[in-house]
């Protein structure tokens, strides 16, 4: 039986007083996910193993069946592989955000979701000033720094410290001195850069510096096709997810109009998934928008993103009669504007029914599947 998994990144949340004590998932209009709950069955998924931070890298690896305890080396190398960088065994790759820091405070982890064109121009100016490393522009604020023959520094994701002083969260140990030097040079290069002059003129936040984090060496995954005896594909606008897919030997399916942000082309993802499932056994449809809304602390945008995920679910189920699963990878609560590690709800069709009427965090807790470990989820779907 073929299977499509639709993942709304960060879709789970906490009850919010502004929504009458409901979570965004409870409050949003989700007729297609609710129909799945009535026609299928629900449960909870433990996606973040003990000892790991609650991140999309850890959660999505786990959902795909790759135990982070065995295979995780850092977020940076996964994104490097997605960007076509062939890492040498001793290289350390870091995810590198372009951020806005004001008066020592992390004001914006994405520099106002700077465009890819603007980010590329900033990195082009920075590269000659930091010859000790390789800098690579990616999509929007998501970029890369590679340290040849490096030693992974301890680091902090910038989205975890929005509104806080950066002084206590700067890189430590390993490559820290080199990274701190690169950060200082980026401040010098970005200050007064034409990109920032233009952004400030139109009221956008300037990109004040880079922020490297989550460095590691290239991981070695078993191939998806060998692990499950099935072909698989990944649809995502996020380098991290595509990097995981490349490590696993899955097909990376590029979708025009997919941005990894609130303005992504949701229905294009549905169309490409339906096309891909004709030739593949499994398609993983990753939608980043709910997570971005959570990081922004916007209830309205998160509700809207969840309703758009529901539209994708409806479009896929209308034309696909195989197994469909819907779930978040982790919660991104509006209250804290970052990830948390609680188990997440899931709903699956084609695996029985359990009387759930709506797809929500609360109802899924009473679903027939109980709480499962994420690394067992695909094996469960493929039975």
* C-alpha–C-alpha distance, residues 26 and 378, integer Å: 26
| Burial state string for 35-49 with b = 16 or more CB within 10 A and e = fewer than 16 | bbbbebbbbbbbbbb
pLDDT score of 139? 87
> Is pLDDT above 90 for 20?
yes
* C-alpha–C-alpha distance, residues 59 and 49, integer Å: 9
* C-alpha–C-alpha distance, residues 106 and 262, integer Å: 22
Residue 34, by phi and psi: left (phi above 0), alpha (psi -120 to 50) or beta? alpha
pLDDT score of 34? 98
> Is pLDDT above 90 for 86?
no
Residue 233, H or E segment: strand 232-235
Helices of type H across 191-346: 194-201, 224-228, 239-247, 266-276, 289-296, 299-319
Calculate the average pLDDT of the chain: 96
**Terminal CA-CA length for the chain:** 9
DSSP reduced 3-state for 158: helix
* C-alpha–C-alpha distance, residues 329 and 326, integer Å: 10
Burial class (CB in 10 A: 0-12, 13-18, 19+), 145: buried
Q: How confident is the model at residue 81 (pLDDT cuts 50, 70, 90)?
A: confident
Residue 371, H or E segment: strand 371-373
Once rounded to an integer, what is the mean pLDDT over residues 66-84? 92
| Beta bridge mates, 134 | 146
* C-alpha–C-alpha distance, residues 117 and 140, integer Å: 8
Q: What does the pLDDT look like over 250-301, one tens digit per residue? A: 999 999 999 998 999 999 999 999 999 999 999 999 999 999 999 999 999 9
Q: How confident is the model at residue 330 (pLDDT cuts 50, 70, 90)?
A: very high
> Is pLDDT above 90 for 82?
no
Q: What does the pLDDT look like over 132-167, one tens digit per residue? A: 999 999 989 999 999 999 999 999 999 999 999 999
**For 3-72+220-382, which CATH superfamily applies?**
Alkaline Phosphatase, subunit A (3.40.720.10)
| DSSP letter (8 states) at residue 172 | B
pLDDT score of 90? 95
Q: How confident is the model at residue 318 (pLDDT cuts 50, 70, 90)?
A: very high
Q: How confident is the model at residue 84 (pLDDT cuts 50, 70, 90)?
A: confident
| Burial state string for 204-213 with b = 16 or more CB within 10 A and e = fewer than 16 | bbbbbbbbbb
The answer to whether 349 and 356 are in contact (CB under 8 A) is no
Cβ neighbour number for residue 246 with a 10 Å cutoff = 20
Q: What does the pLDDT look like over 124-141, one tens digit per residue? A: 999 999 999 999 999 899
> Is pLDDT above 90 for 83?
no
Once rounded to an integer, what is the mean pLDDT over residues 224-248? 95
Parts of the chain belonging to CATH 3.40.720.10: 3-72+220-382
Read off the tokens for 144.
């890369």
Once rounded to an integer, what is the mean pLDDT over residues 55-65? 97
Residue with tokens 């916007």: 298
Q: What does the pLDDT look like over 352-364, one tens digit per residue? A: 999 999 999 999 9
Read off the tokens for 80.
């490097």
Once rounded to an integer, what is the mean pLDDT over residues 233-246? 94
Say what percent of the chain tops pLDDT 90.
Answer: 95
* C-alpha–C-alpha distance, residues 26 and 19, integer Å: 9
Q: Is the CA virtual torsion 54, 59, 60, 62 positive or negative? A: positive
Read off the tokens for 63.
């959902």
């Amino acid at each position: 039986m073929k299977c499509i998994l639709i993942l709304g990144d960060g879709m789970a949340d906490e009850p919010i007083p502004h929504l009458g004590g409901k979570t965004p998932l409870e409050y949003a209009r989700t007729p297609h996910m609710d129909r799945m709950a009535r026609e299928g069955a629900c449960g909870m998924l433990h996606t973040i193993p003990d000892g790991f931070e609650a991140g999309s890298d850890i959660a999505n690896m786990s959902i795909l069946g790759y135990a982070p305890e065995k295979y995780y080396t850092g977020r940076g190398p996964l994104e490097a592989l997605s960007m076509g960088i062939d890492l040498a065994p001793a290289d350390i790759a870091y995810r590198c955000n372009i951020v806005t820091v004001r008066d020592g405070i992390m004001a914006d982890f994405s520099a106002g979701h700077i465009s890819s064109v603007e980010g590329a121009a900033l990195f082009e100016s920075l590269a000659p000033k930091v010859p000790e490393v390789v800098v690579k522009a990616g999509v929007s604020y998501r970029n890369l720094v590679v340290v040849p023959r490096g030693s992974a520094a301890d680091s902090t994701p910038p989205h975890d410290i929005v509104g806080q002083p950066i002084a206590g969260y700067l890189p430590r140990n390993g490559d820290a001195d080199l990274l701190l030097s690169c950060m200082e040079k980026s401040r010098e290069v970005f200050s007064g850069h034409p990109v920032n002059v233009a952004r400030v003129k139109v009221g956008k936040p300037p990109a004040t510096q880079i922020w490297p984090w989550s460095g590691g060496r290239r991981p070695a995954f078993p191939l998806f096709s060998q692990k499950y005896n099935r072909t698989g594909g990944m649809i995502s606008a996020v380098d991290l997810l595509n990097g995981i897919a490349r490590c696993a030997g899955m097909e990376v399916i590029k979708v025009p109009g997919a941005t990894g942000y609130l303005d992504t082309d949701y229905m294009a993802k549905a169309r490409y998934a339906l096309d891909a499932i004709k030739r593949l056994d499994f398609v993983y449809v990753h939608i980043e928008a709910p997570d971005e809304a959570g990081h922004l602390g916007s209830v309205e945008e998160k509700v809207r993103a969840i309703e758009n995920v529901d539209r994708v679910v409806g479009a896929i189920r209308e034309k696909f009669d195989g197994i469909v699963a819907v779930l978040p990878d982790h919660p991104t609560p509006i209250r804290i504007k970052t990830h948390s590690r609680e188990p997440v709800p899931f709903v699956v069709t084609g695996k029985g029914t359990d009387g759930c009427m709506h797809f929500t965090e609360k109802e899924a807790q009473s679903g027939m599947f109980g709480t499962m470990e994420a690394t067992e989820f695909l094996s469960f779907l493929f039975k």
